[in-house]
Amino acid sequence: MQAIINQQEFITEGGCNACGLQSCITYTLQLENEKMVLLDEYDNPSLITALALENGWRQEYVTVGIGEDALVFKKEGQQVAVQETGSMITYQNIGRKCTIPKCGAVKEEGFQQVNQVLQDIFSLEAYEFFEAVK
């Protein structure tokens, strides 16, 4: 499967007299079915989240302690737990665990890490990523 990462930069006013003009960059993911998915950021967790949600997984926060919540992905009785520790993020399902950098270089190495999580943890097909700058 293919996914094209689009980057678009906008110049916008800051909202007050002191702020001036601000550069705003947005990232979208164009899938083979021509659907466009907005990325929160251009990093490994954002790519994984966007592709997991697009493939039927749903995010949910579960209570794990007093005042503590944990992010999990759920789909048809399956569950993937997500744990962030410093600059790393861990995805874990029953019997499998994968830890990758959160803000790793999202180029070839980052794309390999994203595909590793998608295949090993979410049981999804690998994606071939392309970058397009507008």
pTM for the model stands at: 0.88
The pLDDT, as a whole number, for residue 134 is 57
Residue 104: the pLDDT is 60
For 29-56, how does the pLDDT look when each residue is reduced to its tens digit (9 = 90+)?
Answer: 999 999 999 999 999 999 999 999 999 9
For the chain, the domains span 2-131
Burial class, 51, CB count within 10 angstroms (exposed 0-12 / middle 13-18 / buried 19+): buried
Report residue 45: phi and psi, to 5°: -60, -35
Sheet containing 68-75: order of strands: 58-65, 68-75, 78-85, 88-93, 96-101
What residues in the chain have per-residue pLDDT under 50?
A: none
pLDDT of residue 12: 85
What pLDDT is stored for residue 64 in this prediction?
85
pLDDT at 133: 64
